[in-house]
Chains A and B, each alone.
Chain A
Amino acid sequence: MRNVLAAAAAALLLTSISACDFVRFPGDGGPEPTIPEAPPETPPGAPGPPPPVVDDDDFETPVETPDGETPAEPAPGTPPDGTVPDPVDATDETATPPVEVPVDEAPVTPEPETPVVVPEPEPEPLPEPVAPVFSYFQPGVLLAGSGGGFPDQVVHAPGMLFPIKTAPAVLQSQVFAFGGGVAGGDQCDARNYSAPWRDNFCETRSANRTTPFCPVAKIHQGQDIRVGTAADCKTLRSQTADARGLHEVIAVEDGIISSISTYTVKLRAEGSIYNYMHLNMKRLAVTAGQSVKAGDLIGYVSNDFGGTPTTIHLHFEVIQNTADHGWVHVPPYLSLVSAYERRENGPGEQLEPEIGVASTQDVFIIPEGYEIIE
C-alpha cells in the first residue's frame, strides 16, 4: 500500500511539471493541450478570453463549473504518440504542425479547454501633461473697453529673451487696470499681479500714434509689463525713485545701446530696435554706445516718465524693419509669451476670451477733455 501511494504521488508530481510547461509556453516543445471537444469556431484574429492565471491556488482549490460542479478529469485516451490536433483550426495550412512528445514521459494530463492567447502589449503611457506656468489671453484680446486689438499670431522677435531677468511678470494694461488713469484704484492691488496676461498693444491713447498692425489710430505702441508681486510694488513705492533696484531688466538680444533719453533706453539689434521705458534712469547699468549681450543687465523697473511718474512697470516696444511696411512698431505680445515660456521652461495656457468683451472692433471712446497717457 505504501508503495502504491508513493508511486501515485510521484506520478502526480511529474504530471504537474509537464502540465505547467504548455500552459505558459505553448508550442515551446512541450505537449499541446488535449481538447476534449472541438472549440467553437473562432474567426481568425478574433479576441479570445484572457490567458489563465496560474498560481498555487489553482492546484489547491478546484475551480467550479457554472453549475457548481468540479470539472471532471479529462478522459484518458491521449494518443500514445503524443500528437494532438490543432485546437483552433485543424485544416489551416499555416497552423503549427503537431509536436511530438517523448514517449518515455509520463502520461499527459489534459488541461481544461482554455485557448491560449498572447496578451496584447499594454499601450504606451502618455506623457504627463506639463502644468502651465502662466495663463494668457490670445493676442489682440484687449481688456474690455480699452480699444481694438490686432489678433496677431506671429512671434515677431523669435529667440529674444524675456526682458525681466527672473521676477514673475504679468503683461497687462496700466491705464485700464487697477491704479491706472482710467480704472482708478491702487496700482499695488494684488489682482494686478495675479491676472492672466493680456495684450495691450493697440490700446487706446490720446496721442495720434499709429502702426499698420492696429485697426485704428491713437494707440499704445508697446506692451506694459507689471513685475514682481503686490508686496514688491508696495516696497518700491515706499522707496525713493533713485533707490529702486528690485527687478532686473536685461537685454533681450545682442546689440548696442543706441540712445538713452529722459525715460527711454534704446537697444539696437539686427533689424530690430527695442525700447525700454520707465526704468530707474538713475541706476542704469549701461551707457549710450555700449555693446551688450543678450541677458546683460540694463537697469531696474521703476516708473520714471520725465518728471511725471507713471505706474511701476516696464513699457516694452519692438520696432522692426518689416518686409511689408518698413520700420514700424510690431506687436510684442506673442514674442513675450514665447520668451517667458523659455525663461520658465514651461508652457503658457492660452485662455478663451470672455464672452461679450473685447473684439477688434471694440474702440474706447475718450471722454472730452480727457488725456490717456502711458
Chain B
Amino acid sequence: MNRTLIISGLFASALALTACDRVFQRPADTSGTETAATDTPDAALTEPGLELPVRPESASSGAVIDWEAARRDLAARSADDMEGSFSVQSGGDAPPVPVFLPSGPVAAQSGEVAVRFQPTSDGYYAFFPSETYDIIVNGTNVVMTGPDAGAEPVRTDAFNFQPTTNGAQVAFSRYGADYLVEFECKEVVNGMPACITEDEAVAFARDLAISGTR
C-alpha cells in the first residue's frame, strides 16, 4: 500500500511537469520583436516571387523635330516639281516627322502590289515595288539610347549605305528625324542579294524630297 502511494505520488509529479507548459503558457507577447520572430516562419513559407536577371537596356526617346525648316523647304518646292509625285496630307494629322518620298512619279508595274503609304505612331513608312527590288522608306522620331550613351550625338547630312542580308539600306537624317531606305532584292543569286549597287541606292535616297509636314 505504501509502495502504491509512493508510485502514485511520483506519477502525479511527472504528470504535472508534463502539463505545466500548457498550464503556464505565457500569453502572446505583442512587442515588435516577438511579433517579427513569429512572422518570420510564415514569410519563409510564402513562395518568393520569381526574379529574372536584370540587364542594361536601351531606352527610347523622342527626337526634336525642326518643323519650321521642314515647312520652309516644302513651301520652296515648285508645283511643277511636285506634279505626279506621291501626295501626302500636311497639317496636324500628318505623321510626326516630315515625310520624304520619291520626287518623281512612282507607279506600280503591271501585276505588282500597289504603292502604300502608312503613317505610324513614330513616323511613317512608304512601300514602292519595282521590277528587281522593293523599296521601303521609313521615317521615325524615336531614338533608342543605350545605357552607356555619351553626349548628344551629332547628326550629319550623310547617306550611310549598308548591304544587308536581303539587299541594301541607306540611312540619313533631316530636321531631327531619322530615315531609312530599304531595298529588298527579289532574286538571290548564289545566296547573295545583288540587285542594287551602292551608287544606285544612295542616288535614290538623295532624290527623296520633302512631301509633307505638320
Contact = CB atoms under 8 A, between A and B. Distances in A.
Interface string A1-42: 110011011101101110111001100101000000000000
Interface in B14-56: 14, 16-18, 20-21, 23-24, 26, 37, 40, 43-44, 48, 50, 52-53, 55-56
Interface in A49-101: 54, 56, 59-60
Contacts of B143: 271, 321-323
B69 to A, nearest CB: 19
A158 B57 contact: yes
A153 interface: yes
Nearest to B188: A306
B142 A268 contact: no
B166 A9 contact: no
Given A20-B20, A209-B165, A327-B171, A262 B185 contact: yes
Interface of B: 1-2, 5-6, 8-10, 12-14, 16-18, 20-21, 23-24, 26, 37, 40, 43-44, 48, 50, 52-53, 55-61, 113, 116, 118, 120-122, 125, 127, 134, 136, 138, 140, 142-150, 153, 155, 160, 162-166, 169, 171-173, 178-180, 182, 184-188, 190-192
B43 A124 contact: yes
Given A2-B5, A275-B166, A306 B56 contact: no
Contact of B57 (A154, A221, A329): A154
B188 A317 contact: no
A9 B6 contact: yes
A156 B136 contact: no
A341 B52 CA distance: 7
A323 B9 contact: no
Contacts of B120: 255-256, 268, 270
Contact of A270 (B18, B116, B140): B140
Contacts of B58: 154-158, 320, 322
A240 interface: no
A264 B184 CA distance: 9
Contacts of A263: 166, 188
A224 to B, nearest CB: 11
A329 B30 CA distance: 62
A238 interface: no
B52 A256 contact: no
A222 B150 CA distance: 25
Contacts of A268: 120, 125, 138
A56 B55 contact: no
B187 A16 contact: no
Contacts of A12: 9-10, 13
Contact of A273 (B9, B179, B180, B190): B180
A259 B182 contact: yes
Contacts of A47: none
A341 B118 CA distance: 34
B174 to A, nearest CB: 11
Nearest to A218: B163
A20 B172 CA distance: 88
Q: Which 10 A-B pairs have the closest CB atoms?
A: A9-B9, A373-B191, A271-B142, A306-B188, A20-B20, A327-B180, A327-B171, A158-B57, A261-B184, A323-B145
Contacts of A28: 24, 26
Chain B CB within 10 A, most for which of A6, A156, A270: A270
A2 B2 contact: yes
Contacts of B61: 323
Interface of A: 1-2, 5-6, 8-10, 12-13, 15-17, 19-21, 24-25, 28, 30, 54, 56, 59-60, 121, 124-125, 127, 130, 153-158, 206-211, 221-222, 255-256, 258-259, 261-264, 266, 268, 270-273, 275, 277, 288-289, 305-308, 310, 315, 317, 319-324, 326-330, 334, 338, 341-342, 345-348, 371, 373-374
B62 to A, nearest CB: 10
Nearest to A264: B166
Chain B CB within 10 A, most for which of A2, A208, A268, A277: A268
A326 B191 contact: no
Contact of B144 (A21, A275, A277, A322): A322
B5 A9 contact: yes
A154 B55 contact: yes
Contacts of A154: 55-58, 146-148
Contact of A13 (B12, B146, B164, B190): B12
A347 B53 contact: yes
Contacts of A13: 9, 12-13, 16
Chain B CB within 10 A, most for which of A16, A28, A266, A323: A323
Contacts of A264: 165-166, 184
B140 A271 contact: yes
Nearest to B47: A127
B163 A207 contact: yes
Given A2-B1, A209-B164, A271-B122, A321 B140 contact: yes
Nearest to A349: B53
Contact of B191 (A8, A17, A24, A371): A371
Nearest to B7: A9
A307 B188 contact: yes
A319 B136 contact: no
Contacts of B190: 308, 371, 373
